[in-house]
Copies of this chain bind each other. A is one copy, B any other.
Amino acid sequence: MTTGRKRTLTLRDVSEASGVSEMTVSRVLRGKGDVSEATRLKVRDAAKQLGYVPNQIAGALASQRVNLVAVIIPSLANMVFPEVLRGISDTLDGTPLQPVIGVTDYNPEKEERVLYEMLSWRPSGVIVAGLEHSDAARAMLVAAGIPVVEIMDVDGEPIDACVGISHRRAGRLMAEAILENDYTRIGFMGTKMPLDHRARKRFEGLTERLAKGGIEIADQEFYSGGSALAKGREMTQAMLTRTPDLDFLYYSNDMIGAGGLIHLREKGARIPHDIGLAGFNGVELLQGLPVQLATMDACRREIGEAAAQIIAKSCAEDREDAAGERIELQPKLTTGDTLVRGS
């Protein structure tokens, strides 16, 4: 290792060190074009020796090509999104593309800012959670002229492509399972959701379908912040104090559901005989609980994979006909031990 330098290395440095023209150095380093084995080696050695790292900024500007895919999600804390990211990342690993993550905190204004920032790097594609965006955000996405995949949800009008599940349908499915098992006094607990559109849609799907079965939600409560497990306990306790005759609790996510489950078991409730429970997401993390919470898988990984494939395809083919795809995945109900009332 030589002493610290001020200027970072350029192609020219490698060119001089190897006695090969800049252009050929560039070709070697990118593995493009025919270069003789001899010069290839000379260049590789010189580059390694110097510790040269190419400047993608210059490369991207010159080639008008950026191997980045912007991925915009509401939160990293949510357990759900890291799994989507893994699907994206694994799929992109087989391509020259690289994901770049932006987080919006479920805040439309922040989404707009993040989107602006990311688009100003001229990525090759965008994967963004949800179908609801500000007008400005939609306009940017349209104007960007790159493939856009909206993920997690299919209930709405996509800008370009979309991959997800129907949360309305997921809510309906749960309602049907509830009706089939003759529950009648239903309590709902979830996040405060003015901005969590998917949780809202599930709730709507649930209530609409229950209504058709002649049942209304008997009690409901919304929370924000804090440890989900603890919130689940607290809300469940409070709700059952307030409305003791509930016979089913639907939670908008598995963590609060698990909190409720733990609380009820401690209280000695017979589950699901006295009271049934269900959550949402199919969080693998909870598989160690003594009782398996009924839940619905949101196909997180598959969504990530499919979205990445759409981007990869439309970048590779460099034509627009891969655009506008719409992929609806089917959430799978896992009844676990807390939903089906045994004989």
* Chain A residues at the B interface, C-beta cutoff of 8 Å: 1, 4-6, 8-9, 51, 53-58, 60-61, 66, 76-77, 82-83, 85-86, 89, 98, 100-101, 103, 116-117, 119-122, 139-140, 142-145, 227-233, 255, 258-259, 262, 266, 284-290
Contacts and interface: CB of A to CB of B under 8 A. Distances in A.
A98 B120 CA distance: 13
Given A1-B142, A230-B288, 13 more contacts: A1-B143, A4-B145, A9-B143, A51-B139, A57-B57, A57-B121, A58-B61, A77-B83, A77-B86, A89-B103, A100-B101, A229-B286, A262-B289
A143 B54 CA distance: 13
Contact of A262 (B4, B58, B144, B290): B290
A141 to B, nearest CB: 10
A5 B145 CA distance: 7
A56 B8 contact: no
* 3 nearest CB pairs, A to B: A229-B288, A230-B288, A76-B82
B57 A140 contact: no
Contact of A230 (B53, B116, B287): B287
Nearest to A50: B143
Number of copies: 2
A116 to B, nearest CB: 6
Contacts of A290: 262, 266
A217 to B, nearest CB: 23
B54 A120 contact: yes
A1 B119 CA distance: 18
B288 A53 contact: no
B8 A144 contact: yes
A297 to B, nearest CB: 14
B233 A262 contact: no
14 contacts: A4-B142, A4-B145, A51-B140, A53-B120, A53-B144, A54-B120, A55-B120, A57-B57, A57-B66, A82-B82, A100-B101, A227-B284, A229-B289, A259-B288
A91 to B, nearest CB: 14
Nearest to A120: B56
